[in-house]
A = this chain, B = another copy of it.
Amino acid sequence: MGISQDRKGSSVALVVQKYGGSSVSDAERIRRVAERIVETKKAGNDVVVVVSAMGDTTDELLDLAKQVSPAPPVRELDMLLTAGERISNALVAMAIESLGAQARSYTGSQAGVITTGTHGNAKIIDVNPGRLRAALDEGQIVLVAGFQGVSQDTKDVTTLGRGGSDTTAVAVAAALNADVCEIYTDVDGIFTADPRIVPNARKLDTVSFEEMLEMAAAGAKVLMLRCVEYARRYDLPIHVRSSYTDKPGTLVTGSMEDIPMEDAILTGVAHDRGEAKVTVVGLPDVPGYAAQVFRACADADVNIDMVLQNISKVEDGKTDITFTCSRESGPGAVEKLTALQDEIGFTRVLYDDHIGKVSLIGAGMRSHPGVTATFCEALAKAGINIDLISTSEIRISVLIKDTELDRAVAALHEAFGLGGDEEAVVYAGTGR
């Protein structure tokens, strides 16, 4: 057909669409998704679709695994779970064909999604889109099973871990040089705050990759960090939109540097309930001790988020280090540190998972002085105590009590005038 060499600028656009598990949770929803896909194709686009497993399939398969084995081996767990996307993709392909269009579904392996060998959390190394391209050139709508690939070394089936299907979609879109990757979800786009907490949260029309990265890192659930990182690396626009409406959603695209300084504004307020706080008390305040603490955490596979080292108490030459990590990894960090207590030589470890993190993100922070002051004043006015502060060039995050998190989000959203005039629409359910 000749148009496949360089899509961008050609008359036919290549659109990659990703649908989450809640969008394909039953036959009725699958048929609705199929209609949208066929409409996109009929509008003159080439279409590649990535589908997650149906609704609760993954949980049901995990439950079966636990029934036959107390600690299912990871290779077989991947073999098991990938059946879920195989089922949903084949069903969507059938629904598309029943509407008169042609469709072919491919497993991650067939689609050329090559990954590392880390079962359960593999990273995409490369996508060889030869079969997909050939099918597109034949006029087929192409379906790719999300969340899965095949390991480069052993040719075993792998899964990509959390947010895997989004990453599949972005990686396939990048490999095919697609014009846009549409991520369909159960919200209308990226909001200035979670609409369930802030009723007048405003949907954003566009967000830069950098801002979206900070939002994702700060706990915004709509897009996973790794998927945004992938899209930024390949300069691939992501369109986050609702699978229940035809309204445009939020376009994640372009560098923050492209936004004229004068136009730069604040993007939104994100929050995270998934962190825990660990404090190592009475650490000798000499070089190398902090490194020992964080090496211990790394050995226990604990990712550190925020860090605070208290000012040394001169009288005893001891100091404290406080850090946050995910609640899942928190107990492991405490266990590892406790085991090394004598070796490192600290007094004790404190653990607190009744905390929450609230963050303000926006490129405008660079050019508008006083943001930090307004931030702290807003929380003070709401009577909320700040436990820990961490900042980047375009983000301020603070750690507070988890019970005060919703109030903090609302107060900051209000203080920075981020709200719109109308109430946001919130749908039930979440995707993988």
Contacts and interface: CB of A to CB of B under 8 A. Distances in A.
A80 to B, nearest CB: 4
Interface in A275-300: none
A27 B67 contact: yes
Interface stretch (A88-96, A222-230, A368-376): A88-96
Contacts of A404: none
A144 interface: no
B87 A155 contact: no
Nearest to A67: B27
A72 interface: yes
Given A27-B64, A65-B91, A110-B155, A98 B80 contact: no
Interface in A58-81: 61, 64-65, 67-73, 75-77, 79-80
Given A83-B83, A155-B110, A90 B77 contact: yes
Contacts of A94: 65, 68-69, 72-73, 76-77, 80
Contact of A68 (B31, B79, B104): B31
Contacts of A69: 94-95, 97-98
Identify whether the interface residues of A are mostly helix, strand, loop, or mixed.
Answer: helix
A91 B105 contact: no
B80 A90 contact: yes
A70 B97 CA distance: 10
A73 B79 CA distance: 25
A15 B260 CA distance: 72
Chain A interface residue count: which class? 35 or more
A363 interface: no
A188 to B, nearest CB: 26
Given A27-B68, A64-B91, A73-B103, 16 more contacts: A31-B68, A61-B87, A65-B91, A68-B92, A73-B94, A75-B104, A76-B91, A79-B89, A79-B90, A80-B87, A80-B90, A82-B86, A83-B84, A83-B87, A83-B90, A131-B155
19 contacts: A34-B68, A64-B91, A68-B94, A69-B94, A70-B98, A72-B97, A72-B98, A73-B103, A76-B90, A76-B94, A76-B97, A76-B104, A79-B93, A80-B90, A80-B91, A82-B86, A107-B157, A110-B155, A131-B155
